[in-house]
Amino acid sequence: MKRPAKKHTYDDTLLVTVLILVLVGLILLTSTSAYNGRVKFHDSYYYLKKQGLATVLGMAGMLWIARIDYHRWIPLAVPGYLAAIGLSIAVMAFGKEYNGSKRWLSLGPFSFQPSEFAKVAVILFLAWLINRNVKKISKLRIMSGMMLSILPVVGLVGASNLSTAIIILGIAVTLIFVASPRYAQFIWMAVSGVGFLGIFLALESYRLERLAIWRNPEKYEKGYQTLQGLYAIGSGGLFGRGLGNSVQKLGFLPEAQNDMIFSIVCEELGLVGAGTIIVLFLILIWRFFVIATHAPDLFGALIAAGAMAHMMIQVILNIASQILYRIQELHFRLSVMVERRLFFCFWKWGLSLAYHVWYNRVACISYRWSPGMENMNRGRNLINEKKEEKEERDVPLYCSITVACNICSTLSDTQYKGEGK
């Protein structure tokens, strides 16, 4: 008798969130890039057509890969990582330069960034490596060896793309942290990472210059783009100018359709629209976390955790590069009092979310597949045992966060009123 075919299931929440983000992204890209497309290529939909093709290919690839058992990728982990190193070297030798950066390889009419392939390769490689050494991962020597193994690709990518190198390094730290049952070693790793980053920044003066420009853009001629992005954010107010009504995208903000697109989103959709997009990304990250904690084995959990870390760090870096610069100095149309109250409210929610991620991470991932724990249900039992303590822990935690945020908000309001006098 022929066995029925195995039914493939998907996370509906994750799939719907991805589709919404893709659709919203295409709409915002059309609004943001229409002016530049018309000026440079005499076609308002030039960028939409390119991104639309990439979206169709990406969605098709996503659905195809989702139907493949992820264990089949295990034999490709090491070759994929070596290929990422080779492609990174090829970029330095034969890469296509655009706006002063050599990050692309051209294959006929198509071009791509090998650094994007390196992110996926590092996730698969470290998931394979950690899965092989899970019984020894608590040893500092093993953890250090794992971090050293990904430094070649971090260094090669970082030579031309520092932000992507930070993302790859963050993915590696997250995966090792998720799999390790001990935390003391991460203090040493954090100190070493800061030292490595400091040396890496000091090797090229332009890297320190970019950091200085980000901190004080008004003091540098090259800070023009950052300032224009801040003007766009500040002029959006609570509800924005309206979709398609941005002023900064009309030649004032360079490359508005690329890394600075979130500034235009804030200008056109305001704080409400930008906040909604951030919430969608939070839902996406949350679903990755849920999938990781319910994975049938450690390899699957690490792949999901790597995807979560990738998305989380990418979003944080992209948004932080545009809005974290002295946000209190921006003259929003929204009153400063309301703005600051909203800021501390989001801060409180963020800390609470971080606490829950940490709490569940310890119970579901670290202990579930720790060495010597043959019974996978022990992680679930641990969760049930800690649920009794959860309410006792949550109440003082939320109270302390609320009190701290309210004190900061009150001090900010008092300062604002004093400045008004």
| CA distances to 56, 190, 221, 359 from 325, in Å | 36, 24, 17, 31
For residue 100, the model assigns a pLDDT of: 63
Cα pseudo-dihedral 32, 38, 43, 48, rounded to 10: -10
Report the distance separating Cα 5 and Cα 9, nearest Å. Answer: 12
**Local confidence band at 420 (pLDDT 50, 70, 90 cut-offs):** very low
CA dist., res. 132 & res. 307, Å (int): 20
pLDDT over threshold 60, residue 157: yes
| Between residues 97 and 269, the one the model is more confident about | 269
- Pick the closest to residue 207 from 153, 255, 165 (CA basis): 165
Alpha-carbon distance of 186 to 98, in angstroms, equals 38
Q: What is the pLDDT of residues 354-382, one digit of tens each?
A: 444 444 444 444 444 544 334 444 444 54
Cα–Cα distance measured from residue 256 to residue 261, given in angstroms and rounded to the nearest whole number: 5
* pLDDT higher than 80, residue 82: yes
Global pTM? 0.74
Average pLDDT, the chain: 75
Asked if residue 124 has pLDDT above 90, the reply is: yes
| Chain Cα centroid distance, residue 98 | 24
Q: What is the pLDDT of residue 408?
A: 46
Query: Which amino acid does the sequence have at 145?
Result: G
In this structure, are residues 102 and 95 in contact, taking their beta carbons and an 8 Å threshold? Answer: yes
pLDDT tens, position by position, 257-287 = 887 888 899 899 998 999 999 999 999 999 9
Alpha-carbon gap, residue 122 to 130, rounded angstroms: 12
Grade residue 334 by pLDDT with cuts at 50, 70 and 90: very low
CA 171 to CA 120: how far, in whole Å?
10
pLDDT value of position 336: 36
Determine phi and psi for 36, rounding to 5 degrees: -65, -40
Query: pLDDT tens for residues 227-262?
Result: 888 888 888 888 889 888 888 888 888 878 887 888
d(CA 267, CA 244): 10
pLDDT of 40: 86
